[in-house]
Structure 1
Amino acid sequence: MTEPPISRFPVVPLAELPPDLQARFTEVADKSGFLPNVFAALAWRPDEARAFFALHDALMDKDTPGLTQADREVLVVATSAANSCLYCVVAHGALVRIRARDRYLADQVAVDWRKAPLSPRLRAVVEVGVRLAVDPVSVTAQEQDALRGHGLTQDDVWDVGAIVALFALSNRLVHWAAVPPNEEFHLLGRVPRS
């Protein structure tokens, strides 16, 4: 059986990428043991890949008073499930398992976040995030104020919207390019690393 293609668009060999992307991709592959397919799929447009990864890192690689890195990943899983994005549900589900140290939470959130064991704060974040993902005009200032009532700062509230927006872009791009999730993601956080 042959592997499915990583993208409907060109996939540039690592050695042909600009040096900064080569370095980043090598670092990611060394750390995780594989290169996520979305990296390879985006790399054929280097400027856009750099911009995407820069915004991703700015939003996702931090803990703030109201949003931990695990919370941010839960938000991605819930909104990606609402957008029917298999790649992002599987890839970020693995990150939920690792960052939340919970082997089951990502699956529960992906199937029905309303039944998942979320704190009241995270439940409020996910509820607003999913609404923003599927019906953005229904989200009002009152929902943003409610998030502040759960302890989110002004920056945290912005991050909720920015994360949902970034992953709406990501969800649609991986659909557009037909990027499959790496098999390795399915085991991350479920099976001890060898």
Structure 2
Amino acid sequence: MPHISLPDHLPGITGLLEFSQDTATPIRDLTQILLRGESSLTQGERELIATIVSHNNECIFCTSAHTAAADLLLGETETCEMVKHDLDNAPVSEKMKTLLTIAKMVQKSGKSVTPEAIANAKAQGATDMEIHDTVLIAALFCLYNRYVDGLASVTPADPSFYQYLGERIVNHGYTRLPQGYDHLKKS
């Protein structure tokens, strides 16, 4: 049960963002820029960053949502599972492995990021902007994970919910739906 009164029809982050649209707007805007804006990292790669951070923070809602989005963007389900459980053997580029390693370091603490990790990423071709965005996405998802879990937002158990949410993320991004979310209320 959530620690505060949230809309019953909006589990997870959506209910929290609807609860306080004033604070939601800048968070949504930043997320849209980082995960859907122009980047040399694909949208799928950026979703992998959100996934690995959420997974390591043990935020079930965010892990499930961003795994679903990444799977849709990548067109398969193996990569996310490997990234979460066996990064060294995951079917991603060596550059992406170094960036995901940096994301995992940020998830623990910003001070965990080492000069060696940055040098490794650069040696694999990561640009300063890719390193910047990786760190910022990782930090942002730490915020999201703590927001969802810190207020005990509802975490649905039904995998079909996350499939729908993943599709919504892929098709509409991170901005608020123009019509809001009343259409999700059960009749």
Q: TM-score range by the shorter chain?
A: 0.7 to 0.9
| Residue 185 (str. 1) matches residue 180 (str. 2) | no
User: Greater RCO between the two (CA within 8 Å, min separation 6)?
Assistant: 2
Deviating above 3 A after TM superposition, structure 1's stretches of 4 or more consecutive aligned residues are 186-189
Q: 5 Å matches for 1:26-175?
A: 37-65=12-40, 67-175=41-149
Give 5+ residue unaligned stretches, structure 1: 15-34, 190-194
Task: State, as a whole percentage, how many aligned pairs show the same letter.
Answer: 25
Across the aligned residues of Structure 1 and Structure 2, the Cα RMSD in angstroms comes to 2.4
Change (3 A) 1:119 1:76: same
The separation in 1 between residues aligned to 2:12 and 2:125, in whole angstroms, is 36
Q: What are the Cα deviations for residues 7-52 of structure 1, in whole angstroms up to 9, with x where unaligned?
A: 33222589xxxxxxxxxxxxxxxxxxxx663112222111111111
Cα distance in 2 for partners of 1:39, 1:176 equals: 15
Change in Cα spacing, 1:156 to 1:181, as seen in structure 2 (3 Å) is farther
Deviations 1:61-114 (A, max 9, x none): 03522x111111111111111111111110000011111111222222223333
Deviation at 1:150, TM superposition (A): 2.5
Give the number of equivalent residue pairs: 163
Which one-letter code corresponds to 1:168 in the other structure?
A: C
Q: State the TM-score, normalizing by the size of structure 2.
A: 0.76
Q: What residue ranges of structure 2 are gaps of 5+ in the alignment?
A: 168-187
